[in-house]
Structure 1
Amino acid sequence: MSSTAPSSPGPRTAVVIGGSLAGMLTAAALAEFADVVVVERDALPDGPLPRRALPQAHHAHLLWSGGAAAIDRLLPGTIGRLMDDGAHRIALPTNMVGFSPAGWFRRWAEASHYVVVASRDLLDWHVRRAAGALARVGVVDRTEVLGLEGGARRVTGVRVRERGGAERVLAADLVVDASGRSSRAPAWLSGLGLAEPAVRTVDPGLVYASRIFRAPADLGNAFPVIVNVQADPREPGPGRSATLVPIEGDRWLVTLSGTRGGEPTSDPEAFERFARELRHPVVGQLISGTEPLTDVVVTRTTVNRRHHYEKSALPEGFAVIGDAVAAYNPVYGHGMSVAAQSALALRAVIARHGWSADGLGARVQKAVAGPVGAAWALSTGNDVFYPGATEGGPTRAERVAAAYVRRLLHTSTGNGRVARAVTDVMTLERPAARLFTPPVLLAAALGPRRAQLTGPPLAEAELAALAALRG
């Protein structure tokens, strides 16, 4: 039975903390029910330009098809406009060359899914522009949220400091924290006399180094692909990986990563060498002789951290979304897609139960836990096994889950049906339960139908282009 209560008189109001992609998508979701104010601490650029305090923007970003579909449901036409501006839609698994810990993935002929790739600046700009154009959404930047107003039973707004230093209170029926990794929500709740949420941290000590290259003109359409060489946590030594994605402007964005003892550096002379020394040198071979367009940018903010708000006692009128709930190792590319699906889940909860439903925030957190949990399992499945990643090492449940995922990956290298099921979950088009259906369990037990590939599954044109780069 729904616990919907009659709506309060007067206009409904909401405040979203943070003008990130998650914050703007949340504002779009709420704009169907309320007047929304997005409060952003920093200045928001008027165009596809870097945003302060977003170090991960320099590195490779993937918008999985499950996330892209969610964005278009919240802000119709956004993905199309993004494509018009040079973003790439890459068919999966047809146009991904991936070397997993379990072996090379096949590029099955049937394109069952896709991923959208572009620079983070361009992605953010299109979402920010579309959300900001909504009639019921207002954005105030260079304004800091100092804390929550209200008490342990209900949040009634936020206290802010404006760009000139003046402080005031923004009243709201609902406050949603989308302030990312730097969220102060746990401390704010503690200040209201509530317990902070339980936290799980998995920190493999990963460091990222990225650089943009001009894609060789003679490659033409030979490489409309993503190339990814993943680390294998079972191998001795640190885990190191590389990802190459095409972005707007005929450019390649290449991101290297390494765990403790194997971190990439900002040394431009060492960038290609690092890529060549991985489990396979294909990324290093591709960038050999290409023109670098930027310096090497290094980021160390890569820890996986999940706050279990769905298990916490939250005050009425408050919810948390995006990286403020769970932040992931960026190599798996799930942050943006989870944010989009979480905003969509928030909209669905309000539409179903009503704006004034008792426990609305708690309902939102339980709905958000779905996409968050799936991405968390995928992100931490390898990371928990690196030395020092957790205080007590992997839990028994994490070991069992990781063993099953590895078996699935092994099977998917030679079984198209299992590969599709894994991609269903990886792209967040289907929930993780998809991997536990009887056909998938049976296939995993039997293993791959085909022998594993011994090298990257490159087409003839791609091999010719690679040979040309080698000289």
Structure 2
Amino acid sequence: MSTNPPPVPPRRGGSAPAPRTVLVLGAGPAGLLAAAALAPYADEVLLVEQDAPEPAGAPDPAGGTRAARRGLPQAQHAHMLWSGGADAIEALLPGTTAAWLGAGANRVPVPAAMVALSPGGWYRLWPESHYLIAASRPLLDAGVRSRLLAAHPNVRFLYGAQPTALVGSAARVHGARIRHADGTHTEVPACVVVDATGRGSRASHWLAALGLPPAASETIDPGVAYATRRYRAPAPTKGWPVVTIQADARLGGPGRFGTVLPVENDEWLVSVCGSRGGNPTARNADFEPFARGLRSPLVADLIARAEPLSDVVLTRSTTNRRFRYEKMRLPAGFLVLGDAACALNPVYGHGLSVAAQGALAVRDTAAKAAGRIDSPGFTRRAQRALARPAAAAWLLASGGDLHLPGCTGKSPTALDGLAQRYINRLIHTATGNHTATTALTEVMTLRSGAGTLLGPRVVWAAVTGPGQPRLSGPPLPPAVAEVLARDPLPEIRHH
């Protein structure tokens, strides 16, 4: 995997060729990474940003400021950036990981610092095989943005702007129509237009206006609501593990999850969620009691000893939805990336990683095309390439959500049931088998696809079972045990 793509090739003919412009619709993480992928092959990259620019003299967001842009998805919720995604971002923008860590993000070794209750029981703290980056979403976004602008001076922003339509035909897109903050509209020409506008994408409507049929799509809605509260950690977060309590759909009733993520400034982001019929609320007084109703009281016991720094923030935007753009004949010059193509339940923490791996696939496709991103077949090949990492994450999310009570959009098939039984067996095995744990972690961190779980050694591990007795409780690192030994804070501080 090269981190230094070849330069933009010269164009032939004409004394003053038209600029090779890339127009990226949306300046969230997916849009920033799309810009990083295509900037080496473009004369200019324009990022359409609905927010206003930062005021002059504002603090550098890469330094850890918590203010989030209005359009940043999941800005106030816990989000784990798995190593498969972090590695892709580093390949696109070298130095990003160092910038995150320098601003206070934590690199958490997995599974060595992952206190996790799976449907099969507590995982052991095996030696590190993978990792994740634990930080607030604004810090992750700011680190990518600052590295993008430092590495690619041909990138600039169109602030206070929103796309309203594609310009072109069913055969080729030549740009997009943009509405500006003052209410005026302009048509911005481009050789490549990337839709990175997220869950609210209007791509299907824009394509219909060009006379194209809708893309095939799939929706799986587990009815999950997601509530998050920020806490001052009672111990330094450097070296602190991620704590996660997973649901077990086999128990019946709503699925409930909980996560404690150690982020910058010695703070925790604590998220709890529940599926249809068991949703959390936005009331501060309900947060800890909901956490105490998880399959383990560990999350509740930890936050009882931490000082809340924010009110509870609630979201219900958790539906899994993907459009199969790679299976239709999109107009040349048009790409759909990130949540606009495949939006996943954020409880699995895969959205940013999928966007990063998709952007890296776009860059690699451009490299194979000798940098000729304005060639007729480039975007169609890139759309197929970016769909592959999304497919792996879709299998994980849909497989987990399909079996939650009240899930709508698709009924599990016999094949789904068989696959889930195998996964459940593998999860059970992983509670006492290093081979199974490593394979599951390899897939969960998006380092490889689901086929890893069918390797001979992994299948044999599933057949033979854990090999070690099930843990009776969570494996607690000394720092966690020390915090739990303290008395809870007065209840009034939690309301």
TM-score range (shorter-chain normalised) is over 0.9
Q: How many pairs does the alignment contain?
A: 464
From 4, 28, 38, the equivalent of 1:30 is 38
- Following the alignment from structure 1 to structure 2, what is the Cα–Cα distance between the partners of residues 345 and 375? 15
| SS in structure 1 of the partner of residue 250 of structure 2 | coil
Alignment-derived partner of residue 204 in structure 2 = 186
**One-letter code aligned to 2:90:** D
The one-letter amino acid paired with 1:224 is W
Post-superposition Cα deviations, 1:190-233, rounded to whole Å, max 9, x if no partner, equal: 111111111111111110111001111xx346961100001111
Letter in 1 for 2:476: L
Letter in 1 for 2:432: G
Computed over aligned residues only, the root mean square deviation of the Cα atoms, in angstroms, reads: 1.8
Contact 2:429 2:462 in 1 (8 A): yes
Instruction: Return the offset for 1:247.
Output: 0.8
Q: Which residue of 2 aligns with 1:228?
A: 244
User: Residue 312 of structure 2: which of 293, 296, 300 is its match?
Assistant: 296
1:209 and 2:218 aligned: no
Q: How does 1:421-436 map to 2 (within 5 A)?
A: 421-436=439-454
Structure 1 position 437, deviation (Å): 1.6
| Structure 2 residue corresponding to 1:68, chosen from 82, 86, 89 | 86
1:249 to 265, 276, 279: 265
Gapped regions of structure 2 (runs ≥ 5)? 1-8, 490-495
* CA displacement at 1:19 relative to structure 2: 0.3
The answer for the alignment partner of 2:390 in structure 1 is 372
Q: Is the 8 A contact 2:220 2:407 kept in 1?
A: yes
Q: Which residue of 2 aligns with 1:463?
A: 481
Q: Secondary structure at 1:351's aligned position in 2?
A: helix
Q: Tell me how far 1:404 sits from its aligned partner.
A: 2.2
Q: Which residue of 1 aligns with 2:6?
A: none
CA change 1:146–1:401 in 2 (3 A) is: same
Contact 1:222 1:461 in 2 (8 A): no
- Could you report, residue by residue, the CA deviation over 1:105-127 in whole angstroms, capped at 9, with x for unpaired residues? 1110x211110011111111111
1:28-107 alignment runs, 5 A limit: 28-34=36-42, 35-45=44-54, 47=61, 48=65, 49-54=67-72, 56-107=74-125
What is the CA–CA distance in structure 1 between the aligned matches of 2:409 and 2:394, rounded to whole Å? 18
Note if 1:19 corresponds to 2:27.
yes
- After TM superposition, the structure 1 stretch with the greater mean CA deviation from structure 2, 180-189 or 35-44, is 35-44
Distance apart, 1:442 and its partner CA: 1.9
Partner Cα separation in structure 1 for residue 169 and residue 119 of structure 2: 49
Q: For 1:459 and 1:126, locate their aligned partners in 2 and report how far apart those are by CA, in whole Å.
A: 30
Q: Distance in 2 between matches of 1:306 and 1:153?
A: 23
User: Given the alignment, which residue of 131, 154, 159 partners 1:114?
Assistant: 131
Report the AA paired with residue 50 of structure 2: R
Shift of 1:252: 0.7
Match of 2:492 in 1: none
The answer to which of 8-17 and 268-277 deviates more is: 8-17
Q: Tell me the secondary structure at the aligned position of residue 187 of structure 1.
A: helix
Normalization by structure 2: what TM-score? 0.90
Find the aligned partners of 2:80 and 2:477 in 1 and give their Cα distance.
23
Which residue is 2:3 aligned to?
none
The amino acid of 1:333's aligned partner reads G
Aligned counterparts of 1:389 and 1:121: Cα–Cα separation in 2: 31
Cα deviation digits, residues 256-313 of structure 1 (max 9, x gap): 1011111111111111111111100000000113211001111111111111111111
1:75-112, Cα deviation, whole Å (9 max, x unpaired) = 1111101101100000010000001112111110x211
Distance 1:75 1:264, change over 3 A: same
Q: Which residues of structure 1 form unaligned runs of 5+?
A: none
Could you list the per-position Cα deviations for residues 383-438 of structure 1 after superposition, in whole angstroms to 9, with x for gaps in the alignment? Answer: 11123322441233332332222222111111101211111111111222222222
Deviation at 1:136, TM superposition (A): 1.3
Task: Return the letter of the residue paired with 1:60.
Answer: A
Structure 1 position 184, deviation (Å): 0.5
| Residue in structure 2 matched with residue 344 of structure 1 by the alignment | 360
Q: Distance in 1 between matches of 2:95 and 2:400?
A: 36
Task: Say whether the 8 Å CA contact 1:370–1:431 is kept in structure 2.
Answer: no
Structure 1 residue matching 2:439: 3-state secondary structure: helix
- Give the whole-Å Cα distance in 1 for the aligned partners of 2:138 and 2:379: 31
Structure 1 residue identity aligned to 2:27: G
Q: 1:265 to 1:8 in 2, by over 3 A?
A: farther
- Aligned mate of 2:141, from 81, 104, 124: 124
How far apart, CA to CA, are the structure 2 residues paired with 1:244 and 1:162? 40
Asked whether the equivalents of residues 223 and 462 of structure 1 are also in contact (C-alpha less than 8 Å), the reply is no
Maintained 8 Å contact 1:132/1:139: no
Q: Separation in 2 of the partners of 1:431 and 1:310?
A: 18
Structure 1 window deviating more from structure 2 (177-186 vs 228-237): it is 228-237
Give the aligned residue type for 1:192. L
1:214, 1:383 → 2: CA distance? 32
* CA–CA distance in structure 2, aligned partners of residues 309 and 404 of structure 1: 30
Once residues 289 and 437 of structure 1 are traced to their aligned partners in structure 2, the CA distance between those partners, rounded to angstroms, is: 43
Matched, 1:310 2:326: yes
Partner of 1:176: 194
Contact 1:195 1:313 in 2 (8 A): no
Q: Which letter maps to 2:269?
A: L
Contact persistence 2:219–2:410 (CA under 8 A): no
User: Structure 1 residue 189: deviation in Å?
Assistant: 1.0
* C-alpha contact (below 8 Å) 2:106/2:238 kept by paired residues: no
Is the Cα contact below 8 Å between 2:237 and 2:267 reproduced in 1? no
Task: Indicate yes or no: 2:276 matched with 1:260.
Answer: yes
Measure how far apart 1:353 and its partner are: 2.1
Call closer, same or farther: CA 1:19–1:44 in 2, change over 3 Å.
farther
Q: What is the CA–CA distance in structure 1 between the aligned matches of 2:294 and 2:391, rounded to whole Å?
A: 30
Q: What TM-score do you get using the length of structure 1 for normalisation? A: 0.95
